[in-house]
Amino acid sequence: MPRPWHPGALIGFSAALHAAAAAGVALRPEAWPWAAGAVAANHGLLTAAGLLPRCSLLGTNWTRLPGTAAARGEIALTIDDGPDPDVTPRVLDLLDAHRARATFFVIGRLVREHPALAREIVARGHAVENHSEHHLKTFSLHGPRWLVREIGAAQDTIAEVCGRTPRFFRAPAGLRNPFLEPVLARLDLQLASWTRRAYDTRNGDADAVASRLLDGRDGKMRSGDILLLHDGNAARTSCGRAVILEALPRVLDGCRASGLIPVTLEHAIP
Ligand SMILES: [Zn+2]
């Protein structure tokens, strides 16, 4: 079932500006350089909004859990870019040991490569959500038709393999364009970004990764936060281990010490 598309503030403004520029040029053709300049500046603004993963000017974007979940002391661990046959099983063991639930933003292509592992994530009580079919670096450069195919393919892959249709989408590297939100509305998906991330695809220092999540620039971790870690594409520690395997136990200990309960994003839907 598609959901209604509510254009973000910037989309409404941009549409009005384009209409005004067209009307202005029709009435006063000599004013075309002003109209062209205004439209170009507007496109710059739209591009900038798409480059900021936590920005909600292009459409609704979960950067925190809803207030009802935060009031219950809940927090969300989101784990991207898997499933990975070496790292994900160990992440699942760590989550089990701490009785924590997490949300895995999986890549459709990897779900097809490792279907049993994808099913195991769900069987052990976690959620699998849509992180696109191919996780291409050029994701945000494509138009609506391509986006429907790419995101729809991952919906189909995950539904077919895991028996469950995703409710959330996260853009590769968080990069978006103005066509994404109407496509997500059509596929009944909610965009989710994060409150805190630790750049753990580049930083192999587990202490730095954990402390950035627990006590980053925005102060101490608190209820309602959405944390971002990676089981796929993970940076390696000096011993060659995926950094999540050393950082996650510290983050989970930190949750317990603060009385925070890790839940899936789906669980937090009001
Ligand atoms: Zn990713």
Provide the 10 A C-beta neighbour count for residue 40: 9
Tell me if 79 sits within 8 A of 209, measured CB to CB.
no
Q: How far is CA 67 from CA 165, 192, 220, 255, in A?
A: 25, 15, 18, 18
- Reported as a single tens digit per residue, the pLDDT across 193-230 is 999 999 999 999 999 999 999 997 778 999 999 999 99
* pLDDT of 207: 95
Residue 92 structure tokens:
């699942």
Ligand 1 centre and the CA of 131: distance in Å?
7
pTM as predicted: 0.93
* pLDDT of 1: 77
Q: Average pLDDT over the chain, rounded to whole?
A: 94
Q: What percentage of the chain exceeds 70 in pLDDT?
A: 100
The SS3 assignment for 250 reads helix
- Reported as a single tens digit per residue, the pLDDT across 227-252 is 999 999 999 999 999 999 999 999 99
Q: Is 134 labeled as catalytic in the residue annotation?
A: no
Q: Which long-range contacts (CB under 8 A, 24 or more apart) does 266-270 make?
A: 266/103, 266/127, 266/167, 266/168, 267/69, 267/74, 267/101, 267/127, 268/65, 268/66, 268/68, 268/69, 268/74, 268/76, 269/66, 269/167, 270/66, 270/68, 270/69
Instruction: Give the residue, 214 or 58, on which the prediction is more confident.
Output: 214
DSSP class of residue 41? Answer: H
Token pair 């009785």: residue: 99
DSSP class of residue 267? Answer: G
Residue 250 structure tokens:
């510290």
Ligand 1 centre and the CA of 200: distance in Å?
11
At residue 232, what are phi and psi to the nearest 5 degrees? -95, 155
Instruction: Give the residue, 47 or 110, on which the prediction is more confident.
Output: 110
Q: Is 80 labeled as catalytic in the residue annotation?
A: yes
Confidence of residue 75 (pLDDT cuts 50, 70, 90): very high
State the catalytic residue, choosing from 80, 84, 225, 231: 80
* pLDDT of 2: 83
Confidence of residue 180 (pLDDT cuts 50, 70, 90): very high
* Helix, strand, coil distribution of the chain in percent, nearest 5: 50, 15, 35
* pLDDT of 217: 74
Ligand 1 centre and the CA of 80: distance in Å?
5
Quick one: average pLDDT of 163-192?
95
Confidence of residue 260 (pLDDT cuts 50, 70, 90): very high
Confidence of residue 57 (pLDDT cuts 50, 70, 90): confident
Ligand 1 centre and the CA of 105: distance in Å?
8
Q: What percentage of the chain exceeds 90 in pLDDT?
A: 84
State the catalytic residue, choosing from 84, 126, 230, 231: 230
Quick one: average pLDDT of 21-32?
92
* pLDDT of 4: 84
Ligand 1 centre and the CA of 135: distance in Å?
7
* pLDDT of 185: 95
Provide the 10 A C-beta neighbour count for residue 180: 23
Quick one: average pLDDT of 140-146?
95
Ligand 1 centre and the CA of 18: distance in Å?
33
* pLDDT of 241: 96
* pLDDT of 41: 93
